[in-house]
Amino acid sequence: MTPSIRWLAGAVGAHRRAFFSTLVANLLGQLAALGAAVAGAWLVGRAISGQSAPLDLAGAVLGGLVAVAVPAAWWESYVAHDLAYLVLAKLRGQVYDAVARIAPARLLGRRSGDLSAAVLSDIETLEWLFAHTLAQLITAGTVLAAGSVAAAMIDPLLLLVSLPLAACVLTVPLWLRKASRAQGDELRAATAELTSDVVDTVQGMRELTAFRALERRRDLLARKTSRLARAQAANAARGGLEASVTDLLIAVAAAGTLLLIATVIRSPGDAPVAMVLAASSLGPAAQVALLLKEYGTLRAAADRVHTLVTAPANVPPPREVLEVSAQPDVVFEDVRFRYTPDGPEVLRGVSFRIPYGKTVALVGASGAGKSTCVSLLLRYWDPDSGRVLVGGVPLPRIAGLHRHVTVVPQDVHLFAGTIEHNVRLGAPGADVASALRTAQLAIDPAVPVGERGVTLSGGQRARVAVARALATGAPVLVLDEAVANLDTDNEARLAEALREAAAGRATLVIAHRLSTIRRADHIVLLEEGRVAAEGSYDELSERLSHLFARQS
Ligand SMILES: Nc1ncnc2c1ncn2[C@@H]1O[C@H](COP(=O)(O)OP(=O)(O)OP(=O)(O)O)[C@@H](O)[C@H]1O
C-alpha cells in the first residue's frame, strides 16, 4: 500500500459509521441477489429432475429476497455516495489549506492548470474509490465464501472448479498492473498538461492574438489532446481486455461445473444451482476486479493530492511571538538568501533600514534582488542567514504579519466582484470611500470589475491595489513598481497621495522611474544581491544616472 492510499484509508476511517452502513447495505444487496438466483435455479433443478417443488414457499422466498435486494441496492448507492462526499469535502478542505500554506512562494513553481487538475479532477477520481470500491472488496470476499460453502454442500468437488477460477478472476488486474500503473500516470500527466495549457491559453488570449500566434497555439493544444487521447485509448484497451478475460473465466466456471456434474457427480438436478453458484459467487469478485483495473488512475490521483496536502509550509509558523509597536521601522540585517539549495545566492549580505515615517526606494538593475527583498519582507521565504525585523521584532516572531506589512504588488490580481469587494480584501470593515479617495480613484465602489479586473484600465487596477493596501491600515507599506501603469499626470497625483499616506508609515518603494525615486527620503542601490551604495537622491545622482542610462 502506497503512503497516499494509506492516507486515503485513514480519511475513510474517520467516518466509520457511514462506511459500516455502506458495507451492510452492499452485503445485504449482494447476498439477497445471490439467494434469489439460487432459489430460482433450485426450482429449475427440481423441474429438470422431475421432482415436485413447494411453489408457494419458493415464490415467497424468492419474493422476499428480491424485496430485500432491490431497496438494499438503492440504500447502498445512497450511503456510498454520502460517505464519498463526506470524505471528499474534507479532502477539498485539506487541499485548500495546503495551497494556502505553500502559497505564494511554492505556487510560483507550479502551473495553475496543474493545480486546478489536482484540486478538481483528481478529487473526482478519488470519489470513485470511496463510493464504489472499498465496501465492494469486503462484500466480494463474503459472497465468494457464502457461494463456496453452498457449493460444497452440494459436492465439495465443485470447489475444484470454482476456487481456482475465483483466484484467477481476482488477480486479473494484477496481471497487467505494471501497464495499468504506467497508463494511470500517463493519463493523469496528459490531463494535467492539457488543463494547464488550456488555462494558460485562455489567460494569454490577448497576447496570442496580438502576436498572431493563435494557429501555433492550436497546433500545440492539438498535440496535447492527441497525447491524452492516446493515453485514454491505451487505458481503455487494457481495461477492455481485462473485462473480456474476466467474462471468459466466469463462463469457464459455469461450463466446468456443468461438465463436473455431468461426468463425475452425476446429479443433473443440482446443475442449475451449482452453475448459478459458480457464476454468481464470482460476479462481485469480477466487479471488484473491473474496478481495480482503474487502480493505476486512482493511485496517480491519490499521489498527486497527497503530495500537495503533505507539502510543508514554506516558512514555519510564528513562535515565541512578540508585540510590534504601532510605529515600527523595518531593518534588513546582513540578509543572505538563495531560492534553491543549489541555486545562486541572490542576496549576499543585504543590510538597510526604513525608518518609520520615511520612504526608502530600492533600486538596481533587473535581477539585482529587489523583488526578493520584498518577498522576504512579506515572509514568503525566510533568509538563509541574517534577519528582517519590523519594529525590532524578527519576522518569525510576529503573529499576523499582514496586520503590520501590506503590499501593492507588481502584478495586481483583482477578483471578479465589485471595487468595494476588492478594496476590502484585507480589511472587511474598511472605509472604502476614504481609501479610494487617497488612491485618487474617483469611481463608484459598487462597480463590478470583471474577471481579473478586465473592465478597468491598467492605471485604475493599480489604484484599486493601492486603495486595498491602504485600507488595511498596516504601518509598513511595500510598493512594488506600483506606478508602472500610470501616466505622468496620474503618477504625480498618486505620488502626492502616497506621500500623505507615507507620513504615518514605513514605506519601501521599488520603482524604475527616476521621478518616483527622487521623491524618496533615502535610496538603497542594489547590485547583484549587495547594497552597492545608499544615500539621498543628490548623493547618488551620478550612480543613478548611470543605472538609468544603461536601462534606457
Ligand atoms: N522564484 C524564484 N526562483 C528562483 N530564482 C528566482 C526566483 N525569483 C527570482 N529569482 C532570481 O533571483 C534573482 C533576483 O530576482 P529579483 O526578482 O529579486 O530581481 P529584481 O531586482 O526584482 O529584478 P526586476 O527589476 O527585473 O524585477 C534573479 O536572478 C532571478 O532570476
Ramachandran category for residue 392: left, alpha or beta (phi over 0 → left; psi -120 to 50 → alpha): left
pLDDT mean across residues, the chain: 85
pTM: 0.69
What band does 90 get if pLDDT is binned at 50, 70 and 90?
Answer: confident
pLDDT single digits (tens) 254-293: 899 999 988 988 888 888 999 988 888 787 777 777 677 6
Kindly report the CA angle at 200 between 195 and 206, in degrees rounded to 5?
145
Dihedral sign, Cα of residue 232, residue 235, residue 238, residue 243 = negative
Kindly report the CA angle at 149 between 147 and 153, in degrees rounded to 5?
115
Q: Which residues pair with 514 in a beta bridge?
A: none
- Assembly ipTM: 0.97
**C-alpha cell recorded at residue 269:** 438436478
The single-letter code of the amino acid at 295 is: Y
pLDDT for residue 106 is more than 70 = no
Which atom of ligand 1 is closest in space to residue 109's alpha carbon?
A: 1
Q: How far is the CA of 513 from the centre of ligand 1 (A)?
A: 19
What band does 311 get if pLDDT is binned at 50, 70 and 90?
Answer: confident
Domains in the chain: boundaries: 3-309, 330-551
The CATH architecture to which 330-551 belongs is: 3-Layer(aba) Sandwich (3.40)
Is the Cβ–Cβ distance between 335 and 349 less than 8 Å?
A: yes
3-class SS letters over 349-363: EEEEEECCCCEEEEE
pLDDT single digits (tens) 381-423: 999 999 999 999 999 999 988 889 998 887 888 888 899 999 9
Q: Are β-strands 330-337 and 347-354 bridged in parallel, bridged antiparallel, or unpaired?
A: antiparallel
Q: From CA 458, how far away is CA 288, in angstroms rounded?
A: 56
Q: How far is the CA of 367 from the centre of ligand 1 (A)?
A: 5
CATH of the domain spanning 3-309, picked from 1.10.260.40, 1.10.3720.10, 1.20.1560.10, 1.10.10.10: 1.20.1560.10
Is the Cβ–Cβ distance between 249 and 281 less than 8 Å?
A: no
pLDDT single digits (tens) 123-140: 777 777 766 677 777 888
What pLDDT is recorded for position 105? 60
Q: Whose CA is nearest to atom 29 of ligand 1?
A: 367
Is the Cβ–Cβ distance between 227 and 190 less than 8 Å?
A: yes
Q: From CA 483, how far away is CA 330, in angstroms rounded?
A: 22
Ligand 1 proximal residues by C-beta, below 6 Å? 108, 339, 343, 346, 364, 366-372
| 94: number of Cβ within 10 Å | 16
pLDDT single digits (tens) 325-361: 888 999 999 999 999 888 899 999 999 999 999 999 9
Q: From CA 206, how far away is CA 214, in angstroms rounded?
A: 10
Q: Whose CA is nearest to atom 26 of ligand 1?
A: 366
Q: Roughly how many angstroms between the first and final C-alpha of the chain, as a whole number?
A: 60
pLDDT single digits (tens) 69-88: 999 989 988 888 888 888 88
Among candidate residues 259, 479, 283, 244, the one with its CA nearest the CA of residue 363 = 479
Which atom of ligand 1 is closest in space to residue 368's alpha carbon?
A: 21
6-10, 43-47, 378-382, 468-472: least confident range:
6-10
Q: How far is the CA of 528 from the centre of ligand 1 (A)?
A: 10
